[in-house]
């Protein structure tokens, strides 16, 4: 059970208590994934986006202080980032996590701060400053960015997808590529506008 918990397939109900299924199991069954209507609608558009822009694109929702990928599409080019459904990435240092966070109502962002502070301990004050700046950037630009912060060779931008249907969680999208193929200018000038356009295409799906 320890390994399954570490991988996100099980989550403890309490100290020494029973376990419940974790979000990582969503990567293992199309039946479970089909419950997320946005994922089903987004998948073909994501495949088109990945191929057209030679990037990886992922859809994720939050689990604790992580984001869990529900769907990932990669271009056939060797320049795409190799992550898949079920992958977990931290909220505070990734474009997809920052976009998710920045798009939340303020009271929901405030409620997440103690969880993040507990995770990062002494490193949290610096990360909190960066996360606050990411929120300001999101308000100004409409997207978040993480250029080499999560992994030195990964460049990524992200957008928030709000929960507009009852019972549907808020999610986020990111587009990422390796630093040797995408510099900051390329991400901001070419990939980010394309990702914002994709978000607009998905908006009617959510409404």
Our measurement of the distance from residue 167's CA atom to the centroid of its chain's CA atoms, rounded to an integer in Å, reads: 19
Q: In degrees rounded to 5, what are phi and psi of residue 77?
A: -75, 155
Q: Which residues pair with 156 in a beta bridge?
A: 146, 176
Q: HSE, CB side, 13 Å, CA atoms: give it for residue 101.
A: 32
According to the model, what pLDDT value does residue 203 have?
72
Give residues with Cβ within 8 angstroms of 197, minimum separation 6.
Answer: none
What domains sit in the chain, N to C, each tagged with a CATH number?
25-206 (3.30.450.40)
Which residues of the chain fall below pLDDT 50?
1-4, 27-35, 80, 206-207
Tens of pLDDT, residues 142-194: 999 999 988 889 999 999 998 766 667 889 999 999 999 999 999 999 999 99
What does the CA dihedral 123, 129, 135, 141 come to, rounded to 10 degrees? -110
């Amino acid at each position: 059970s320890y390994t399954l918990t570490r991988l996100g397939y099980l989550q403890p109900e309490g100290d020494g208590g029973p376990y419940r299924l974790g979000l990582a199991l969503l990567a293992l069954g199309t039946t479970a994934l089909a419950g997320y209507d946005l994922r089903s609608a987004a998948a073909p558009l994501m495949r088109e986006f990945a191929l057209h822009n030679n990037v990886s694109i992922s859809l994720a929702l939050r689990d604790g202080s992580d984001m869990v990928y529900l769907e990932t599409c990669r271009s056939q080019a060797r320049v795409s980032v190799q992550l898949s459904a079920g992958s977990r990435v931290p909220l505070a240092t990734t474009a997809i996590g920052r976009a998710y966070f920045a798009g939340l109502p303020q009271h929901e962002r405030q409620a997440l701060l103690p969880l993040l502070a507990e995770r990062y301990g002494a490193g949290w004050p610096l990360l909190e400053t960066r996360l606050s700046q990411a929120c300001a950037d999101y308000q100004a630009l409409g997207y978040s960015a993480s250029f080499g912060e999560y992994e030195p060779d990964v460049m990524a931008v992200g957008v928030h997808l709000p929960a507009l249907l009852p019972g549907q969680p808020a999610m986020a999208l990111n587009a990422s590529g390796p630093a040797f193929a995408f510099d900051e200018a390329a991400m901001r000038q070419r990939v980010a506008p394309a990702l914002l356009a994709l978000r607009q295409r998905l908006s009617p799906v959510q409404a």
